[in-house]
Amino acid sequence: QKENRVISVGRWNAYQKNAPLLLRTLKLFLELHPGWHADLVGGGLNSERVQKMFGSTNLHSRVTVHGVVDHGTLRGLYSRAKIFFLPSRYESYCIAAVEALCCGCSVVSASHLGASGYQAGKDSGTAAARGDKNQLLDALDVEVMMWETGNRVAGEISSRWRAEAGAESIAKKVLDVLREI
């Protein structure tokens, strides 16, 4: 069962992943959407930093910092969340976004990211025109509306992406390429 949750996964101490933008945007998002929760997964982001950012607004109770987790735990978090939020400065092929899509999450990212054109396409997410907090917040708001109006269906997103990027599909594509050699 999907819940009103946004998940972000990354190496948050890496410049590329843009932890400052993640926290600024999620703070605004949670202020606007009191029924939503954020799950932050990965190394480099500690609870004290989140407490400092969200503590004065009492939003910290709606943000969970999980740290590094095993694959089973991550799969469970993806399965509960509706939206995967990707605030990266740059990205080639975001495996975490594809994992989230395969678990039925929609994706919000900036349109300048390499893979966002198809990962955050009209059927499975929203790409912000720019990678700033206001544009990303607008994209998150669009996704909330899409879920609330029934225009996002976890099973449909998951089925499409498992067919496109699941292990069996990738293995078949590799074998097809090898046969052509």
What is the model's pLDDT at position 57? Answer: 72
**Global pTM value:** 0.90
Range of the domain at 80: 5-180
Alpha carbon of residue 37 to chain centroid:
13
Contact (Cβ atoms closer than 8 angstroms) between residue 157 and residue 106: yes
What is the model's pLDDT at position 74? Answer: 98
Other beta carbons within 10 Å of 136: 29
Alpha carbon of residue 93 to chain centroid:
13
What is the model's pLDDT at position 122? Answer: 67
**Rounded to an integer, what distance in angstroms lies between the CA atom of residue 123 and that of residue 74?**
23
Domain count, the chain: 1
**Rounded to an integer, what distance in angstroms lies between the CA atom of residue 112 and that of residue 8?**
18
Q: What is the CATH number of the domain that holds 143?
A: 3.40.50.2000
pLDDT digits (tens, 9 = 90+) for 113-149: 665 556 667 689 998 888 899 999 999 999 999 999 9
What is the model's pLDDT at position 143? Answer: 96
**Rounded to an integer, what distance in angstroms lies between the CA atom of residue 88 and that of residue 107?**
13
